[in-house]
Amino acid sequence: MMSMSRSASRDKNSPAPFRIEPLKNGAEDGSMHFEWAHQPRSALLIEKKGDKQARHYIVLAARYLFHNRHFSIFVENYVKEDLKNYAFLSSFENYEESMVDFVLSFGGDGTLLHIAKLFPRNCPPIVPFAMGSLGFLTPFLADDYKSIIDDLIRGFFYVISRTRILCSIQKTNSDGNIEVTEIQAMNDVAFKPSKNGTVSAVDCSIDDEYFTTVYGDGLIVATSTGSTAYNLSANGVIIHPSVSTLVWTPICAHALNAHPLVLPDSIELSLKIAKNARGNDPYTLAYDSSETLVSKNDKVTIRISPYPVPTVCQKEPMTDYLNSISSVLKWNQPIHGSISIEDEVSDPSTINHFFVCVDGDFENQIAG
C-alpha cells in the first residue's frame, strides 16, 4: 500500500486551519458558522473501543480520506497496532494536537467525552457519528460518512462551541505545601461521599463568599452539555448547549426547597467537605467517567475552562438540539400516547371539561 510522509501534513507550529465566526444574527450564544482558513490536510479517527462495527467504519473512512482526499490519517496507538497492514496510518500519541485538523468520532456520547480528554487545550472540530446506546451528542449516521466528509472539507456546516469545566483540586501535603491538580470535564463533576450510605455535607462558596451547605447524597456541577446527563437524572434543569453556564444541582437533598441553580460563567465556585460532615472518609470527585478522591481539608474550585469543544452540527444548531431532545429524550411526549381529534369526538369519556371562573364564581362549563 501507499504511504504518506509526515511532510504532507500540517506543521505543528502552523496556525489552526479553521475559523469559527458567530451566526449572522450576531448573538454570542456559542452557535457558530465554521470556515476553513486554508484547506485541511489531516484527520484523527476515534472509535468506540471494542466495537467491531465502529472499527469497520474507521477503516472505510481512513481509506476514503487517504486515497480520495490525500489526507494524513491519525488513529490511537492500539488501533495502529491492530491495523499494521495499513501503512498510511499514523499514531496520534506521537504528534502534537495542532497536527490534527478535525476528528471523526465513531461511537456514542462517551466516545465524544474521550476525545475531549485527548485535547486538554485547543480542540479541533469533532464530527460525531452515532454508534452508541444513547446518541444525544451524535447526530450523524455512519453510513453517510463520505458525503459528510466532503461537506466538512468544503466548509458547509455549523458548530456548537461546548463549554468545559476547569476544576482545580488544592491539597496540603505532609510538608504543609499546597499542591494543585487541574482536571477538565465536558459533562459534569459530581462531589459525593466515597462511602455508600453516608450523608454528604458540602460547603459551597461563590467567588470566596459562602452561600450554603448541601446535605444529601452529594452535588453535581454540570455544563450546559452535561445538563442532559447525570444532572437530568437528579431533576436538574436542561440548558441549551450553546449557553455558557454552570448548573448547580443537589443529589437527593435533605431539604425540600434545594432547587437547582443556573450560575453565570464568570463566577468561581468552591466546594469543601463541611467541618461537621460525618466521619473522616474522603469524598469522590467524579468527572466524565473518571474520578479522584478529595479529603476533608482539600478545596475544589470550579470555573468555566477557556478551551471549549467544537462539535459539528447536522443542521443548524437549534434544529439539532430540538431534534435531540424530542427523539432521544422524548421530551414533553405523553406517556399514554397521542389521542386524535376523531377519537375525542367519538368517545365522550375522552372529552375534558373545564370550568371558567368569572368574578370569583365558577359558572361556565366548557368541553374541550
Can you state the angle between helices 52-69 and 145-154, rounded to 10 degrees?
A: 50
At CA 63, angle to CA 80 and CA 121, rounded to 5?
A: 55
> Which CA distances in Å does 189 have to 118, 168, 185?
18, 11, 7
Q: Other CB atoms closer than 10 Å to residue 230's CB: what's the count? A: 18
- C-alpha to C-alpha distance for 103 and 159, rounded to whole angstroms: 13
**CB–CB of 214/224 below 8 Å?**
no
Are β-strands 126-130 and 102-107 bridged in parallel, bridged antiparallel, or unpaired?
parallel
Residues 101, 109, 203, 320: which is the catalytic one?
A: 109
- C-alpha to C-alpha distance for 52 and 60, rounded to whole angstroms: 13
Q: For residue 242, give the 3-state DSSP assignment.
A: coil
Find residue 311's DSSP bridge partners.
126, 160
CA-based nearest residue to 40, from 122, 116, 152: 152
Active-site annotation holds for 109: yes
The residues carrying an active-site annotation are 109
